[in-house]
Structure 1
């Protein structure tokens, strides 16, 4: 294997591991809340915080090797608007989705007894543990509204990530970057979680959705109305990521002028955390 091949393999391992950590906490907390019939083991706020902390920990795991994208929408946006190489996008997306898939299988096995106790037929009642649904499976939210929601939520995510990781935009110190990105995901969860469950990450949704499909959830690819839904948390976040990246470039990036000292700093090879949920 060439040195470039070894480097890419290491980056894929990092994306796999970082995304796996993210999903273990994210899907794990939803499983805990959903299977807690009296609500004593959590609520929406605990879900938002655990997802955010999962992002933070996943970034710390992967940032040094890969930059910790942990999200196909982020990888695609970085390739479109930064020097991230397009040739790495497909391997990163594969690693991210595989990490999410494996993590969801672990959660599925660990919570099998509790899920079976409250939903033995593995219906839409507990499908939300693994993947998102319009209106979180309860409210009457249309497909166009859910699509718009995911575009907006992911645009916010990528726009702020670009701001936090731009060396010329007074970002947080590198060791604090993952914490701030995690807080960003908490904020999105608290402000943009009603319409479509804030997937904002194709790997986060499709990997666990696939894991649930092969472990008893026959309707995993559809929503509570029976409509084919799996495509929406893939397509809409990718569009949203491109929108967010473009807006940052136009509104902020093209107006940033590095000082001579900053120009020297950014010329050094530095891996910055650039993730999301």
Structure 2
């Protein structure tokens, strides 16, 4: 969706932030529906590490999950590159091309950017855990299990609209790092550098926020 909004001569060029956040929200919703029954919808290392930190997931499973998340993000970015192949050469902005793949701050301030990612991911992980807590997955006192992914998508949309402005809301280390690696490796016409100096923030911030959210969830919503 970022490619459709940012790259030159696309049908969606300049459609704006609401379109980008909506596209991400719908994508997350479909992804959770698609893989929820296979992996518990582990799409995000921040969620995976957060759950492992409170004993809800075996640490031995964490590397496997993260490898799958990174591979999926890399392949997704590669598909986007192919889908928009003629548009890279007619887009002058190197920053715009990078934005298709990964996040960058509106104002570069490492401590502030890190804090934004911590807060955004805290809201995400706590929200996901509360939405999917067993007491809420109850059609009598909560909602049917099939409604959970839709609520997660709404949560992601809300985070993007409210907290996404400062950093582009990575809130997922794999979502940023996998495509950033793709940007570095793919022969993208006219690309610039992959901004590795910033790359640690969308990894560290989400992990910190996810772990804090997981411990708060365990304290307030005990099993």
Match of 1:132 in 2: 103
The structure having more radius of gyration, on CA atoms, is 1
Task: Give unmatched runs, 5+ long, in structure 1.
Answer: 1-28, 223-227, 257-277
- 1:141, distance to aligned residue in structure 2 (A): 3.5
User: RMSD of the alignment, in Å?
Assistant: 1.8
Asked whether the equivalents of residues 101 and 207 of structure 1 are also in contact (C-alpha less than 8 Å), the reply is: yes
Aligned 1:1-277 pairs, distance under 5 A? 29-36=1-8, 41=13, 42-119=15-92, 123-135=94-106, 140-169=107-136, 171-215=142-186, 216=188, 217-222=191-196, 228-250=197-219, 252-254=220-222
Do the aligned residues in 2 keep the contact of 1:56 with 1:181 (CA within 8 Å)? yes
Higher relative contact order (CA closer than 8 Å, sequence separation 6+): 2
Q: Distance in 1 between matches of 2:37 and 2:67?
A: 19
Using the size of structure 1 for normalisation, the TM-score is 0.73
When structure 1 is superposed on structure 2, of 46-55 and 36-45 the one drifting more is: 36-45
Task: Number of aligned residue pairs: give it.
Answer: 215
Q: Give me the whole-angstrom Cα distance separating, in 2, the residues matched to 1:171 and 1:78.
A: 22
In the TM superposition, residue 40 of structure 1 has moved relative to its aligned partner by 5.0
Q: CA deviation at 1:38?
A: 9.0
TM-score (norm 2): 0.90
Cα distance in structure 1, aligned partners of 2:55 and 2:142:
17
Q: CA deviation at 1:168?
A: 2.3
2-side partners of 1:171 and 1:94: how far apart? Answer: 34
Q: Which moved more, 1:49-58 or 1:168-177?
A: 168-177
What are the ranges of 5 or more consecutive residues in structure 2 without an aligned counterpart?
Answer: none
Q: Is the Cα contact below 8 Å between 1:164 and 1:171 reproduced in 2?
A: no
1:36 Cα offset (Å): 4.5
Give the 3-state SS of the residue equivalent to 2:146 in structure 1: coil
- SS where residue 129 of structure 1 aligns? helix
Question: Alignment partner of 2:211: what SS?
Answer: helix
**Residues of 2 paired with 1:127 and 1:168: CA distance?**
42
CA distance 1:174–1:244, change in 2 (3 Å): same
1:82–1:180: structure 2 CA closer, same or farther, 3 Å change rule?
Answer: farther
Partner SS for 1:197: coil
Cα offset, 1:63, TM superposition: 0.5
Q: Residues of 1 paired with 2:11 and 2:36: CA distance? A: 35
